[in-house]
Amino acid sequence: MQLHRLDEWRVRIDRDERRGMKTHVIAFASEPILSQIRKDLSLEQAMNVATLPGIAGPSLAMPDIHQGYGFPIGGVAATDYRHGVVSPGGVGFDINCGVRLMGTTLTEADVRPRLKETVDQIFRDIPCGTGGKGPFDISPRQLEGVLSRGAPYMVEQGFGETRDNEFSEAGGCLQEADPDAVSSRAKERGRPQLGTVGSGNHFLEIQTVESIHDEAAASAMHLEPGRIVVLLHCGSRGLGHQVCTDYLAEMGAAMKRHDIAVPDRQLACVPVQSPEGQSYLAAMRAAANFAWANRQCILHLLRGSLRKLYGAGTHVRVLYDVCHNIAKREKHVVDGVKRDVLVHRKGATRAFPPNHHEIPQDYKHIGQPVFVPGSMGTASWILTGADGAMRETFGSVCHGAGRLLSRTAARKGRNAREVQDALAARGIIVRSETRDGILEEIPEAYKDVDEVIAVVTGAGLAKPVARLRPMGVIKG
Amino acid sequence: MNFEVLEHTADIGFRAWGPAFENMLAAAAQALVSIAVEIGTVRDAEPYPIAAKGEDRESLLVNWLNEVLYYVDGRQVAFRRFDVKSCGEWQVSGIGWGEPRSEAHPAKLIVKGVTYHQLSVTNCAEGWQCTVFLDI
């Protein structure tokens, strides 16, 4: 594979690298990051994405890219909304997996002496891990409300505060979601799981603001050193997984009808405007609304936990909520022409610059907040979208540190107790349902998040606002 | 045990085999269940009919495993073993023998879905074998 280095932060794979590519690939990667990326098939997958019918602009790879299924994780691709395709693989099984960051009225001085008690309380109150059941026993009718109206519906039902969804991508609800496009199986799989974090790399982390890198943006977000924030990473649980499965199964036959061939079956896609494409998008939006409602329910439980410990005067507010597995209809300028496109963000976060009309009023002058969690026990970052993202990446940046080791390799030769003790010696308390849950997410299993941040900020896609240090981790 | 678990950077997979294609499907289902659930104490107490169809061998395998996954994650069933029979072109019907999941057989991993990534189904001297990766 011929890689052309464009500058310190960008490499390009030309369109003629392989037959069938309709566009080139741009990967945002420094040399150290690139050497890690080249250890797996992620760049080949980005080249496969470049073959999608109706792709607009380049196939993009973020610095946290790693091998996924069909699409690489950390991939962005826009397709023409009228003449292009939609690919469920470009969204993934965990539809609207995302991150919600919550600010609190607590400081590190309040929480540090009671950290163990705090982590234990949250671990008791918020279902995590492989246990399938949440405390929200919603009726099938309420589930329809969740699927149509997302997080704001849960607030109406009494599980939140009025302003919670003002600070969320799409206000916590995608319009044109159709609960009827979601199979009864998906509803059956998802309904008991509302209000659960799930397993794998999903987590809830108590963090403190370690350093501020942009005073104006930090002030707009009420952030200051020593302030306690809580970062939640989870998605649409079994409901989203089943929606993806159902539509992938349908698309094989539909692709034949539409005469579409792709180099990897997991890239199955259909025209956006076909009945199958429209039906998938309506179901995907409903699953995205389920994910936002899920994060809303967890916020409600978190408020309960913190008020039990620190009193009724403890406030928790949503700083922002972003999804990183989604396909969204947006307007972008491609080669000088304004186009109507469907942006697939698979393990990538929307990052709109200041003054974009989709940013809430309080943040309009700073740009859309973006959260980049590091691995367990390492720093996370708050960024804001910058103009470069609009010019080069359809308003998108990275979503995390990016996995380096397989789960088996991460477990090998390590003992969960020792990992927990080593983190405790650094002032970090970890709780998990299983020992494997801790071992598989060790810091060594991931790339260095600071290096990933250096690339996206160096390339002008986003600006750093604050670095967050973990104190308590609740692992799925 | 006619399967082995494989690794992949972010995820997990397995290789399963059997003298006939149907045996391979049964072994693949068993591999999927053993990755998702602690099956040590599961009894083959109840029969659960499971059927699947596809357009070719690969899609039949993926669709069959998705049916099994639906029972494991959606219907909360743990399986001890599977009997699988062909019943038409790219169509199978089977029985999964198991019992409702309880605290006695906890979940090990949440499997989000069965993928086509590096999927292979091959006919060899010993019979059939497949490689499947799961998104977890």
Q: Amino acid identity, residue A291?
A: A
Q: Tell me: domain B12-135, CATH 3.55.10.10, correct?
A: yes
Total domain count for chain A?
A: 1
Give the Cα separation of A395 and A414 in Å (integer).
40
Cβ neighbour number for residue A52 with a 10 Å cutoff? 27
- CB-based contact (8 Å) between B106 and chain A? yes
pLDDT, mean over chain A: 95
Q: Which residues of B touch A94 (CB under 8 A)?
A: 112
Q: B109 φ, ψ to 5°?
A: -145, 145
CATH of the domain at A454: 3.90.1860.10
Report pLDDT for A35: 95
Summarised one tens digit per residue, pLDDT across range A289-324 is 999 999 999 999 999 999 999 999 999 999 999 999
Pairing between strand A98-107 and A227-234?
Answer: antiparallel
- How far is CA A74 from each of CA A10, A60, A393, A400, A412, rounded to the nearest angstrom? 15, 8, 12, 9, 26
Q: Residues A373-399, buried b or exposed e (16+ Cβ, 10 A)?
A: bbbbbbbbbbbbbbebbbebbbbbbbb
- Catalytic-residue membership of A66: no
Q: Which residues of B touch A236 (CB under 8 A)?
A: none
Residues of chain B with pLDDT under 70: 8-10
Report pLDDT for B105: 80
pLDDT over 90 (residue A434): no
Summarised one tens digit per residue, pLDDT across range A38-65 is 999 999 999 999 999 999 999 999 999 9
Report pLDDT for A132: 65
ipTM of the complex: 0.89
Give the Cα separation of A451 and A97 in Å (integer).
23
Alpha helices in B19-79 (DSSP H): 21-36, 57-69
Where are the strands (E) in A115-259, listed by range? Answer: 203-212, 227-234
Q: A313 φ, ψ to 5°?
A: -80, 0
Cα pseudo-dihedral A454, A456, A461, A467, rounded to 10: -60
pLDDT over 80 (residue A179): yes
B30: left (phi over 0), alpha (psi -120 to 50) or beta: alpha
Give the Cα separation of A81 and A271 in Å (integer).
9
Residue A309 buriedness (CB in 10 A; 0-12 / 13-18 / 19+): middle
Task: Mark yes or no for CB contact A130/B10 under 8 Å.
Answer: no
- CB-based contact (8 Å) between A264 and chain B? yes
Report pLDDT for A200: 78
Summarised one tens digit per residue, pLDDT across range A158-168 is 999 999 999 99
Summarised one tens digit per residue, pLDDT across range A336-376 is 999 999 999 999 999 999 999 999 999 999 999 999 998 88
pLDDT over 90 (residue A135): no
Q: Which residues of A touch B70 (CB under 8 A)?
A: 185, 189, 242
Summarised one tens digit per residue, pLDDT across range A219-246 is 999 999 999 999 999 999 999 999 999 9
The residue of A36, A69, A234 whose CB has the most chain B CBs within 10 angstroms, and thus the best one to mutate to test that interface, is: A69
Lowest-confidence region among A40-44, A446-450, A458-462, B9-13 = B9-13
Give the Cα separation of A75 and A175 in Å (integer).
24
Lowest-confidence region among A10-24, A409-423, B82-96 = A409-423
- CB-based contact (8 Å) between A266 and chain B? yes
Q: Which of B46, B50, B53 is nearest to B95 (CA)?
A: B50
- Tokens 């299924």 -> residue: A69
Q: Which domain holds residue A267?
A: 4-475
Residue A319 in tokens:
């700083």
Q: Calculate mean pLDDT across residues A457-476.
A: 95
Report pLDDT for B9: 63
Cβ contacts of A14 within 8 Å, gap of 6 or more = A2, A4, A24
Q: Amino acid identity, residue A162?
A: T
Residue A249 exposure: Cα atoms within 13 Å on the Cβ side: 20
Q: What confidence tier does A405 reach under pLDDT thresholds 50, 70, 90?
A: confident
Give the Cα separation of A252 and A144 in Å (integer).
28
Task: Mark yes or no for CB contact A69/B9 under 8 Å.
Answer: no
Residue A216 in tokens:
């104006």
- Tokens 């107790």 -> residue: A417
CA A437 and chain centroid, separation: 19
Task: Mark yes or no for CB contact B116/A265 under 8 Å.
Answer: yes
